[in-house]
Amino acid sequence: MCGRFAVTLPPEAMVNLFSAVPANDPPDVPNYNVCPTNSVHVVTSDDGSRRLQAMRWGFLPHWYKTPNDGPLLINARAETIAEKPAFRAACRERRCLIPATGFYEWTKDGEGNRLPWYISHEDGSPLVFAGVWQAWDKGETPLVTCAIVTTAAEGAMKEIHHRMPVTVDEENWPLWLGEDGKGAAVLMQEPPSDGFRIYRVDRAVNSNRARGPELIEPIE
């Protein structure tokens, strides 16, 4: 799964990276501890015109009467996304890209303490997660929400967690966004990249109130 991540790219850099038009409500960055229900940067495409906008991380299906009407859907499994009622329409019609600098996963020691690990590209380049999005308008304030697509972990990641985000390489962004027609499902079936740097970080990140660049500093 993916339950926390970090974003350090300035909005201007994201606009240039994706050749996107920025919206007027970008989330604050850098954010070294992006948590569920936070506002995150998301790239969408409408007839080939890309937009960088803010969405709530935590997908709300159209039948939820309130944001707390069911489970918090921050992830969507690649293996079942096309079948699940919550995600199947979004998988066909509302795919998006979610940029990140890295993400966190946890193991446990012999005493049951949660030990955080930080995962990023070895070369320092941004991660781009496959996502799906949904507009939800059942409350007083309409929300645009998203979830990160996950797949089975491979390589060194398997030692940390059995799931990981689906990452999309730049040459495949048009396919995932629907700009290159149909066939995006193949991107969820490709083996995950093994070009990751993985290291332990301080347990301070276990708190959703923790902030600051020290959260991604490696520890012995």
pLDDT tens digit sequence for 63-80: 999 999 999 999 999 999
Domain that residue 51 falls in = 4-99+126-193
201 occurs within a structural domain? no
Residue 115 lies in a domain: no
To the query of whether residue 2 is one of the catalytic residues in this protein, the response is yes
Whether residue 32 contacts residue 213, with contact meaning beta carbons closer than 8 Å, is answered with yes
Confidence class for position 106, pLDDT limits 50, 70, 90: very high
Structural domains of the chain, count: 1
Q: What is the pLDDT of residue 48?
A: 86
For residue 30, the domain's CATH number is 3.90.1680.10
- Asked whether residue 205 is assigned to any structural domain, the reply reads no
Three-class HEC string of the chain = CCCEEEECCCHHHHHHHHCCEECCCCCCCCEEEECCCCEEEEEEEECCEEEEEEEEECECCCCCCCCCCCCCECEEECCCCCCCCCCHHHHHHCEEEEEECEEEEEEECCCCCEEEEEEEECCCCCEEEEEEEEEECCCCCCEEEEEEEEEECCHHHHHCCCEEECECCHHHHHHHCCCCCCCHHHHHCCCCCCCEEEEEECHHHHCCCCCCHHHHCECC
Q: Which among 91, 105, 190, 217 is annotated as catalytic?
A: 105
Looking at the domain assignment, is residue 70 inside a domain? Answer: yes
pLDDT exceeds 90 at position 125: yes
Would you say residue 149 lies in a domain? yes
Identify whether 213 is part of a domain: no
Q: Which listed residue (2, 91, 96, 146) is catalytic?
A: 2
Q: How many CB atoms lie within 10 A of CB 99?
A: 21
Distance CA(173)–CA(187), nearest Å, equals 10
Question: pLDDT confidence of 47, banded at 50, 70, 90?
Answer: confident
157, part of any domain: yes
133 in a domain, yes or no? yes
